[in-house]
A and B are shown apart, each in its own frame.
Chain A
Amino acid sequence: MNPVSRGIRNAFRNGVRTGSIVLILGISIGLSLTMLVAQTAVASKIKSVKSSIGNTITVAPAGFSPGAQANNVLTSDELSKVQALTHISSVEETLTDRQSTTGSSTPSFGRFGGSTDSSSQTTTSLQSPITLSGGPRFLSGGGESSDSDTTNFTLPVSFLGTTNPGSVSGDAITLSKGQAIAGTSDTNNVLVSNKMASKNNLSVGSTFTAYNTTLTVAGIFTSSNSNQGADNTVVLSLPAMQRLSGNSKAVTSATITVDSLDNLSSVTAHVKSTLGSSADVTSAQDQADNTVKPLNSVKTVSTFSLVGAVVAGAIIILLTMIMVVRERRREIGVVKAIGGSNARIIGEFMVESLTLAILGAVVGLLIGVVGGQPVTKMLVDNSASSTTTQTAFQRGGMMGGATPADSTTRSRPRSFGQGLRRNGAVRGFGNIKAQIGLGILLDGFGAAVLIAALGSALAAGMISRVRPSTVMRTE
């Protein structure tokens, strides 16, 4: 029998004690693994969220929101100052507006310029391709209408003047017919979605009226399936939109692309100082940070728990081995008296300690496999729900008509609906996959070895101090 087999056998000398230690150690290692799984899953999610958000900065007029009337707008002159800053690749400016359809009693909302009088608004000959049912109830917040009010109604049509007609609210569009328009030339040519064209029997070269002006369809585009906002949007150049709406140089949002993610923070600060209080400046970094805030707290909790669980495991083994060495003091003396060296005896105890730790790791692994996903989900859900509640309080005013508004968010400036998107992202955290892979498995056993080594270190010191003359004492 060699020291290894003796060490393993010694680990099972007292079945009840071994069982208890393995169980406690298993819970400790299981908790470590569970926290490791949660930490890995969350870190992976944070990475994917951050990598999915580009190096852009969104600028909107201060206080601009789609549920309320905007009292101010940005101007191209202000944005030209921003454009002059360093590390900026491009500035995409947009001006959005809505036009009620001719003969419709659809209430208007979200227009810039502070006007709330629908009678002063112009109309368009277009019909929106999107029809909502029970609209008035949505728009009134859902509390005042009866069942008889649930009539269908048509949304107002969005008009988007942009310096980049290749995309609508950040999503690229694809021209299926006709030709593109230039974002900087002032013409009455527009792009419409294929759904809009279909709804209004439009083809390339067709005309329709808006702002008491005849506009010509230059191209028809398709958007992604989920972008209903784009389907309901007429795209035209920014100068044309400014002219038609009578708001020369007005801009309702701008998207600034920074040359590198590394410069995002510094450029954001410069943009904020340049525009002052007239604009809300939000960087993708801010959005990413806000989005992953609940995940970061989960990561912190899981990191502390992981360290705590490993330390607890090491303390369990440490106390166990101290107890064992004290119990076997005489036996250690005997072995030394008959020629056993310190190194050999310490090795035997380390094997015993390692055996307990590995058995604990096996139990812990089972706990980790069973508990990893639910614990991660619970931590994320708890953290996410508290963030969602906080966000709802902060943005209570605009949450009233959230559901239908969300469907039109796409045609609005990027900053609009940010809170909603954030909540959407938070809801998306439920999809976090917590899995025990080979790496985590190896980490688990590594932790067991570390626990065993730490736990038996003091015991080893005690062993080396046991004098062989101990054996001469009779009890």
Chain B
Amino acid sequence: MIEVKNLVKTFQAGDSTVTAVSDVSFNVPDGQFASIVGRSGSGKSTLLSLLGALDTPTSGSIIVGDRDDVTRLQDRELTRYRGRSIGFIFQNYNLVPSLTARENVMLPMEFARVPKAERRQRAEKLLGEVGLEPDQMDRKPGRLSGGQQQRVAIARALANRPQLILADEPTGNLDSATGKMIFDLLHTLSRTQRTTIIVVTHDLEIAGKTDRTFTLEDGKLVR
């Protein structure tokens, strides 16, 4: 369960204050596949970065599972929270270009101090599950297609068995067929692994297929 209460994020832009997220409250039960939709600039990505502790809110609270309020965690605990409780999937994949597909998946496990042999085994298993061929596992991101890179990113997000996966426009850079495949993959994961997934998307067709959809307008949750 993720529980968000009265979340506010404001930015200072010159002399004026911009409210990117305004008093947002919602909750998502474990294993549910939720989506956040809204127009560009509505605050979707900001909300996602607050949920993933990539940024700190101005006020409000975020409680994931039985943890303390995420917004009150210190730097070291935040790093641990990001590494072990959250899996990120980004629109432009954000794989480390100097590492192979396998090494990219192994990286968060290294941060979580998983033994090397186990890291390798689990990375190969996850890459296999997302549909990457064994010969593609030793390729660096530059030698993989967009769809393949996003599969690697999904495997990396799953590496430490997180409670919550946050995906920012995961199909935004993919053609419709590949996008559909990736979406189906995330859907299957939420069902089989009972992982809570929150996806930010423009695509209302995709949003319509999730268990629950939140709509943001000017930083406020309207539905």
Contacts and interface: CB of A to CB of B under 8 A. Distances in A.
Contact of A339 (B83, B94, B106, B168): B83
Interface string B34-48: 000000000001101
Given A467-B55, A469-B54, A469-B55, A341 B111 contact: yes
A338 B111 contact: yes
Q: Is the interface of A mostly helix, strand, loop or mixed?
A: helix
A468 B95 CA distance: 14
A339 B156 CA distance: 12
B52 interface: yes
B67 interface: no
Given A334-B95, A340-B111, 13 more contacts: A6-B98, A10-B98, A338-B82, A338-B108, A339-B111, A339-B112, A340-B79, A340-B83, A341-B76, A341-B111, A468-B82, A469-B49, A472-B90
B103 interface: yes
Contact of A334 (B75, B96, B103, B110): B96
Interface string A264-277: 00000000000000
Interface string A54-77: 000000000000000000000000
B88 interface: yes
Contacts of A10: 98
A467 B54 contact: yes
A16 to B, nearest CB: 16
B99 interface: yes
Contacts, number: 73
Contacts of B108: 338-339
Contact of B88 (A6, A338, A340): A338
B80 interface: yes
Contact of B110 (A2, A9, A475): A2
Interface of A: 1-2, 6, 9-10, 13, 330-331, 334-342, 344, 467-469, 471-472, 474-475
Interface centre among A334, A342, A475 (most CB of B within 10 A): A334
Contact of B83 (A2, A334, A338): A338
Given A2-B110, A331-B97, A472-B48, A339 B90 contact: no
Nearest to B112: A339
B91 interface: yes
A202 B193 CA distance: 119
A474 B173 CA distance: 11
Contact of B45 (A13, A468, A472): A472
Contacts of B49: 469, 472
B111 A472 contact: no
B139 to A, nearest CB: 15
Contacts of B54: 337, 467-469, 471-472
Interface string B16-49: 0000000000000000000000000000011011
Interface centre among A331, A338, A342, A474 (most CB of B within 10 A): A338
B92 interface: yes
A461 B58 CA distance: 25
B201 interface: no
A338 B156 contact: yes
A475 B91 CA distance: 11
B160 interface: yes
A290 to B, nearest CB: 61
Interface of B: 45-46, 48-49, 52, 54-55, 75-76, 79-80, 82-84, 88, 90-92, 94-99, 103, 106-108, 110-112, 156, 160, 168
Contacts of A334: 90, 94-96
A467 B49 CA distance: 11
Q: Which 5 A-B pairs have the closest CB atoms?
A: A339-B83, A339-B111, A469-B55, A469-B54, A468-B54
Contacts of B99: 1, 6
Nearest to A13: B98
B84 A339 contact: yes
A471 B90 contact: yes
Contacts of A336: 79, 82
Nearest to B90: A471
Nearest to B106: A1
B82 A335 contact: no
A111 B21 CA distance: 107
Contacts of B107: 335, 338, 340
Contacts of A474: 91-92
B195 to A, nearest CB: 16
Given A468-B82, A472-B90, A472-B168, A344 B98 contact: no
Nearest to A9: B98
B111 A344 contact: yes
A233 to B, nearest CB: 82
Nearest to B88: A337
A1 B103 contact: yes
Contacts of A468: 54-55, 82
30 contacts: A1-B99, A1-B103, A1-B110, A6-B98, A9-B98, A13-B98, A334-B94, A334-B95, A334-B96, A336-B79, A338-B82, A338-B108, A339-B79, A339-B84, A339-B112, A339-B160, A341-B76, A341-B111, A342-B75, A344-B111, A467-B55, A469-B49, A471-B54, A471-B88, A471-B94, A472-B46, A472-B49, A472-B90, A474-B92, A475-B92
A346 to B, nearest CB: 13
Contacts of A335: 96, 107
Contacts of B156: 338
A85 B84 CA distance: 86
A60 to B, nearest CB: 76
